[in-house]
Amino acid sequence: MAKYGASFATAASAEVTLRFPPAVSARQRAILHAVAEANGVPHASAGDGEGRSISLGSGARVVEVLPEDVPDDEALCALLAEHLRVSPEASRRAFAAPAPRGDGRDRATRSVGEATVGSSFATSPASASAASMDVAAFVRRTLELLELEREAEEEQGEAILRGMRPETAQKKGRALLGLKCVDVRGGFYGKTIVTLELASRGSVNVSQSGMSTNGGGKNSGAPPLPPHKLTPHDIVAIKANKGEPGGDPLCAGVVYRVRDAALEIAIDEAPESLDGTLRLERLANETSHKRLVD
């Protein structure tokens, strides 16, 4: 009879590596991270955006999970039990919660907490207050793991861009070259909104106070942007057009709005100058991260 539990999962993870495909959703991936953490199983994510995947375990025997092998949460629970000796009952409770959105805020992370670090609830006479403290600690740890995954995705995006020429990055849709700043204005929550267009019509001067002199934008007559994969909520870096691929950015922010001929970027604070020709590089996307955290 197969035995399950954290100690058995830790031992099993030293023998096998379970690689899940990008077909696993962001919510499922976050719960897999949390379940692995609670059971002492090494875990890591790789890839970018929709191509992001997760691996559990560190053993030499690699099990590649095919997309058709994980049609639902129950299939994930079965894989965890078969290869990593994670309790199937605990896994089912972990995956029972719907995606964390709207009035379901934190349900997924609460469910994981009840199924893993909260497994002592059924076997120990611990008080309700102690149980609540355990769940709160687990939620904090889950949020830390989500932040680590977001940072890892950004670092991976930067590493990919360092390994290719800017022209190649633009062909792959990860960057836009030859841009100019046509407008800088205040936005919500203290953010600064920077509007970028193609620089074929010449550059504009942006003062240290963060205001442009021509107020470009919708009616500036700028040519349309070349094909790209930039979307709202993408985390991006603004750099000098001729700067080194691995060089420091002038500033970084999040794509606020995408137009045919312009991009609006929300940044915390405008640099002293955004003069000259610029390029924009895509690092990651924060949509899935925000949905899970909120």
Nearest alpha carbon to residue 176 among 252, 244, 262: 262
Tokens 């953490």, residue? 37
Are both 148 and 172 inside the same structural domain? no
Half-sphere exposure of 29 (CA within 13 A, CB side): 26
Give domain status of residue 157, yes or no.
no
Q: Residue 161 falls within a domain, yes or no?
A: no
Query: Are residue 35 and residue 145 in the same domain, yes or no?
Result: yes
pLDDT at 222: 83
Instruction: Examine the domain organization and report whether 97 and 142 are in the same domain.
Output: yes
Residue 119 sits in the same domain as residue 175: no
User: Do 125 and 227 fall into the same domain?
Assistant: no
In a domain, 183, yes or no: yes
- Looking at the fold, whether 288 and 184 belong to one and the same domain comes out as yes
Tell me how crowded residue 212 is: count the other CB atoms within 10 A of its CB: 20
Q: Considering 94, 118, 152, which residue would you say is the last residue of a domain?
A: 152
Alpha-carbon span 174 to 149, nearest angstrom: 20
- Which CATH number fits the domain that encloses residue 261? 2.40.30.270
Report residue 25 as tokens.
């959703």
Domain annotation covers residue 158: no
pLDDT tens for the 294 residues of the chain, in order: 566 667 777 787 788 999 999 988 888 888 898 888 888 899 988 887 778 889 999 989 999 999 888 878 899 999 999 999 888 888 888 887 544 443 333 333 333 443 333 333 344 444 445 555 577 777 788 888 877 877 777 777 776 777 788 888 898 888 999 999 999 998 888 899 999 999 875 434 444 344 443 444 444 578 999 999 899 988 899 999 988 777 788 999 999 999 999 999 999 988 888 889 999 998 876 666 666 666
Whether 79 and 184 map to the same domain: the answer is no
Q: Identify the domain containing residue 83 by its residue range.
A: 6-152
What is the value of pTM for the model shown? 0.47
Which pLDDT score is estimated for 211? 41
User: Please, what's the largest Cα pairwise distance for the chain?
Assistant: 75
User: Same domain, yes or no, for 143 and 178?
Assistant: no
> Quick one: 176 and 280 in the same domain?
yes
Contact, 206 vs 179, CB < 8 A? no
Q: Do 222 and 263 form a contact (C-beta atoms < 8 A)?
A: no
CB neighbours of residue 37 within 10 Å: 19
Q: Is residue 43 part of a domain?
A: yes
Give residue 288's pLDDT: 61
User: What contacts 121, CB < 8 A, 6 or more positions away?
Assistant: 114, 131
Q: How many domains does the chain have?
A: 2
Residues 146 and 173 in one domain: no
Cα separations in angstroms, 294 against 101, 139, 243: 7, 12, 36
**Residue 85 is assigned to a structural domain of this protein:** yes
Do 185 and 270 lie in a common domain?
Answer: yes
Same domain? 201 vs 124: no
User: What CA–CA distance (Å, rounded) separates 65 from 122?
Assistant: 32
User: What is the reported pLDDT for 120?
Assistant: 37
Final residue of a structural domain among 152, 182, 214: 152
Instruction: Pick the last residue of a domain from 152, 175, 203.
Output: 152
Question: Residue 20: inside a domain, yes or no?
Answer: yes
For residue 83, being part of any structural domain is answered with yes
